[in-house]
Homo-oligomer: A and B are copies of this chain.
Amino acid sequence: MKLTILKDSLNEAIQHVSKAISSRTTIPILSGIKMEARSTGLTLTASDTDISIQSFIPMEKNDKTIITLDKPGSVVLPAKFFVEIIRKLPSAHVELFVQDQFHTTIKSGASEIQLVGLDPEEYPILPQLEEDRIFSMNGILLKSMIRQTVFAVSTNESTPILTGVLWNLENGIIKFVGTDRHRLASSEATINSTNNLKIENLVVSGKTLNELSKIIPDNGMMIDIVATENQILFKMDNVLFYSRILDGTYPDTSKIISQAFKTELVVNTKGITEAIDRAYILSREEKTNIVKLVTTGDQSVEISSSSNELGKVKEQIEAEQLEGDELRISFNSKYMLDALKVIDSENIHIGFAGIMSPIIIRPVDETRKMLHLILPYRTTN
């Protein structure tokens, strides 16, 4: 393999695939990035067995030469060092030359680097996916639905299925759900699905979705998504992102979402977020995060928290609407703030079905359907 490539193009592709490199891999070849040069361009691959990312650099783009290929071939280069050194090379052009035993020379300006490469034949082959179950989503929508749900997934590896986000697709409506048994976040949207595809019980790891989010460009491009029994593949412009699907059956969460509320509150999102944030600062010192919400009879609610050592924070907020029974409820303010932060609507609707029933939070100006659920705390006062 011998070629000259624009540093910025190589660097961009390396940044993409390196998201799949794990620093804790036990398989030596996976600490490297595989490079494969053919007459059509250069393909980079990285994998940690759960996630695999492939980035393709074409020979030219918009009539501008990116790669000059002298000899096709392939090699695996140590990722950590390779990522850093390419970024810091002195010239806009980089020459890569693989010799015997995969010894690789990188030249750029006056800088010359010798690298001990590995045999690309030892690199695992990426799965070949059947593309019959495929649909498309706008990248901005996908990113925003990930952001609205992924924070609620469990970090506890003892129930692996809950560390993922559940995907459902039916009648052109895609829905994401994340839950850790104490709170739940869901978001749904209508997509153009020509083939009337139905997807059930597809669970993608939250970590994977966070890495995917970093790669999705903000230009609104459509992303093709291929779902198979074990794998999901995201196809972006020149980037393929493969992920394993989590094993197991996702719990049925539909039953816990009550629609019959005893108390309903509509309130300004920013106002209640800031009030809860102030109460949270104090409750955090107690390591409980407990914040109380009490109706005060005059179309307003009081948000408060108290600490034996430090003192008390309280604040009255006027409601836009307040209907139903009087209420005195405690909840985890960190969970509430996590949910409020991803709601863009000016006002929110909070529904209470009783002091021990889940609290349901929804945006009022619903451009897209979203729901957050938080289990209240049982407290003594």
Contact = CB atoms under 8 A, between A and B. Distances in A.
A19 B223 CA distance: 48
A88 B315 contact: no
Interface string A101-124: 001100000111111100000000
A333 B94 CA distance: 24
A200 B25 CA distance: 55
Interface stretch (A51-59, A79-87, A133-141): A79-87
A314 interface: yes
A243 to B, nearest CB: 29
B113 A311 contact: yes
A311 B80 contact: no
Contact of A313 (B80, B85, B313, B314): B85
A94 to B, nearest CB: 13
A307 B111 CA distance: 16
A282 interface: yes
A285 B116 contact: no
A116 B116 CA distance: 64
Contact of A278 (B78, B111, B310, B317): B111
Contacts of A116: 309-311
A274 interface: yes
A213 interface: no
A275 interface: yes
Contact of A314 (B112, B285, B310): B112
B313 A282 contact: no
Contacts of A315: 110-112
A19 B311 CA distance: 24
Contacts of A81: 281-282, 285, 310
Contacts of A114: 311-313
A85 B115 contact: no
A90 interface: yes
A81 B305 CA distance: 13
A110 B277 contact: no
A299 to B, nearest CB: 14
B90 A274 contact: yes
A316 interface: yes
B88 A278 contact: yes
B278 A85 contact: yes
A273 to B, nearest CB: 11
A113 to B, nearest CB: 5
B317 A110 contact: yes
Nearest to A300: B110
A320 to B, nearest CB: 15
Contacts of A111: 275, 278, 313-315
A293 to B, nearest CB: 15
A316 B316 CA distance: 69
A310 B84 contact: no
A282 B88 CA distance: 12
Given A110-B317, A316-B110, A317-B110, A115 B281 contact: no
Give 9 nearest A-B pairs by CB, closest first: A114-B312, A114-B311, A115-B311, A111-B315, A84-B281, A113-B313, A116-B311, A110-B315, A110-B316
11 contacts: A80-B285, A81-B282, A85-B278, A85-B281, A88-B277, A110-B317, A111-B278, A113-B311, A113-B314, A115-B310, A115-B311
